[in-house]
Amino acid sequence: MTTLNLTPDHRPTTLVGTIPPIAEHPRLTVIGTGYLGATHAVSMAVLGYEVLGVDVDAAKIALLASGRVPFYEPGLPEKLREALDTGRLRFTTDFTEAAEWGDVHFICVGTPQAHDSNAADLTYVDRAFATLSSAITRRALIVGKSTVPIGTAARLTELVRASSPVGERVELAWNPEFLREGYAVEDTLHPDRLVFGVQSEWAEAQLRAAFRPILDAGTPLVIADLATAELVKVAANSFLATKISYINAMAEVCEATGADVNILASALAYDSRIGSRFLKPGLGFGGGCLPKDIRAFIHRAEELGVGQAVTFLREVDGINQRRRTRTVDVIREMVGGSLEGVPVAALGAAFKPNSDDIRDAPALDVARMLSAEGAIVTIYDPEAMPNARRAYPELSFAPSLPEAVRGAEVVALLTEWAEFREARPDDLGRLVAHRRIVDGRHALNADEYRARGWEYRALGRPVESRTVELLSDARD
């Protein structure tokens, strides 16, 4: 196990000497049972811990307690049932029960972008910490897992001290989470690393006990102060967003010069200093994390007086947004300059395949822009239709891939689900009005489509580009 330790004098010493025995197998609560929290609760129960999942959403809690996952995450329903069958996993909306029962409380509530600025909305986090800490009457550790701006944990430490009936006997730590939707169970059980932001040896020992099986499997552990633990998460997401926008910036240059971004990406990827991960050009990133995390980071850096250090992230965001409008441009170009009355099949709604998450989904942004220009857009997604319909009732949806493409003048691949990648160009070709396809994710075999009479376009590639196999990890 690789352990980076802080020198002891980085830690406050107030609690030394009053350290009670470490629970060998602490009882865990997970506050907030959304994409992150439900996966964490289930995985920890599967690993052998007793876990209590808590949420303010009673309907969500009822579903989870009955063995159903309220969102699409491959593998999670099976693990939920396995965990419930052991009797180690329970769910409740009762904070008092959680406060009395738990040794280590993980806070996994949402931190969306604020409605009126780029800042993170910390209302849910503040409320969860305040409600829980005011109900805890014994020694316990509250661990933030939500992604928060730097300095939040220090502020919450004060809040917890002020609201806790037992004062400093309730301690706070931060344990940022790096799971990817679509691979959430695997990532939780086998993370690349664990990061513990702690203020005492006691807190570190509690967390070590809470992650014992994962640490015993050799997972690297980084021990950090609170601010660094918070920063690790936003720094990682900023780096990944930058890598995606970097190759998409190169795609813009390719479009102006006739160069092919796929050939460029594959040549860059062979450079072991650069690598192929997150170097796939296309429609760019979306979802409930990357976009709002980089915006909140810019906002917080400005508050801290170091805005200049992350000015580049504004460009990263800008490049990413431009990919969406550019996709609409290409579709418009293909149909001769006007989208008015043009039937377009929009394949995908989720922000990425293997998820039903439509938060800041590039696919739906493109569909809405096409629709705003008068196109008759029909959307199909294997899993995200209920969420998309609920969020955008004004858009049209088809129940299947064939129904979505029937009669289309242009097909736009916007989320690279396997169902779309594996569709046969001839089968689709028989249904469309015109064989035109925009591959927003560089996921299709251009040669195969062209051989079947399709006009094929992809961002950053010349009209007559040939298929280039990109070195990539399907999970990115």
Ligand X SMILES: NC(=O)c1ccc[n+]([C@@H]2O[C@H](COP(=O)([O-])OP(=O)(O)OC[C@H]3O[C@@H](n4cnc5c(N)ncnc54)[C@H](O)[C@@H]3O)[C@@H](O)[C@H]2O)c1
359 is in an annotated binding site: yes
| Angle value at C-alpha 350, between 269 and 59, nearest 5 degrees | 135
Among 28, 30, 36, 170, binds ligand X (CB under 6 A): 36
Binding segment toward ligand X, per CB under 6 A, in 108-116, 158-166, 203-211, 340-348: 108-116
Ordered alpha helix ranges (H), 49-183: 58-65, 76-86, 95-101, 123-135, 152-163
Q: Which residues 270-329 are close enough to bind ligand X by CB under 6 A?
A: 288-289
Residue nearest to ligand X (CB): 34
Which phi-psi region, left, alpha or beta, contains residue 38 (left: φ > 0; alpha: ψ -120 to 50)?
Answer: alpha
Among 56, 205, 263, 431, binds ligand X (CB under 6 A): 56
Rounded distance between C-alpha atoms, residue 282 and residue 230, angstroms: 30
Binding segment toward ligand X, per CB under 6 A, in 15-23, 109-117, 194-202, 462-470: 109-117
Q: Is 53 in the site for ligand X (CB under 6 A)?
A: no
Rounded distance between C-alpha atoms, residue 292 and residue 359, angstroms: 10
Residue 404 CB, nearest distance to ligand X (Å)? 27
Residue 8 CB, nearest distance to ligand X (Å)? 30
Please state the φ and ψ torsions of residue 231, each to the nearest 5 degrees. Answer: -70, -35
152 is in an annotated binding site: no
Q: How many residues in the chain? A: 476
Binding mask of the shown chain, residues 351 to 390, with x at each position contacting ligand X by CB under 6 A? ----------------------------------------
Cβ-based nearer residue to ligand X, 52 or 377: 52
Binding segment toward ligand X, per CB under 6 A, in 123-131, 209-217, 246-254, 384-392: 123-131
β-pair type (343-347, 410-413)? parallel
Binding segment toward ligand X, per CB under 6 A, in 53-61, 199-207, 333-341, 364-372: 53-61
289 catalytically annotated = yes
Q: List, in order, residues 6 or more apart from 64 with CB less than 8 Å away.
A: 33, 38, 53, 70, 80, 91
Among 75, 101, 124, 169, binds ligand X (CB under 6 A): 124
Residue 200 CB, nearest distance to ligand X (Å)? 24
Q: Which residues 136-155 are close enough to bind ligand X by CB under 6 A?
A: 146-147
Cβ-based nearer residue to ligand X, 91 or 449: 91
Q: List, in order, residues 6 or more apart from 424 with CB less than 8 Å away.
A: none
**Cα pseudo-dihedral 99, 100, 102, 107, rounded to 10:** 0
Please state the φ and ψ torsions of residue 306, each to the nearest 5 degrees. Answer: -120, 30
Residue 236 CB, nearest distance to ligand X (Å)? 10
Ordered strands of the 28-31 beta sheet: 3-4, 221-224, 194-197, 170-174, 140-144, 104-107, 28-31, 51-54, 89-92
147 is in an annotated binding site: yes
Among 15, 28, 33, 346, binds ligand X (CB under 6 A): 33
- Residue of 289, 313, 346, 379 marked catalytic: 289
Q: Which residues 153-182 are close enough to bind ligand X by CB under 6 A?
A: 177, 179, 181
Cβ-based nearer residue to ligand X, 80 or 411: 80
Q: Which long-range contacts (CB under 8 A, 24 or more apart) does 301-309 make?
A: 304/150, 304/151
Q: What is the DSSP string of 194-254?
A: EEEE-SSHHHHHHHHHHTHHHHHTT--EEEE-HHHHHHHHHHHHHHHHHHHHHHHHHHHHH
Q: Is 127 in the site for ligand X (CB under 6 A)?
A: yes
Q: Which residues sit in the known binding site?
A: 55, 60, 111, 147, 178-181, 233, 278-282, 286, 292, 352, 359
Q: What residues act catalytically? A: 289
Q: Which residues sit in the known binding site for substrate?
A: 178-181, 233, 278-282, 286, 352
Q: Which residues sit in the known binding site for NAD(+)?
A: 55, 60, 111, 147, 181, 292, 359
* Contact set with ligand X (CB under 6 A): 31-37, 54-57, 60, 108-111, 124, 127-128, 146-147, 177, 179, 181, 288-289
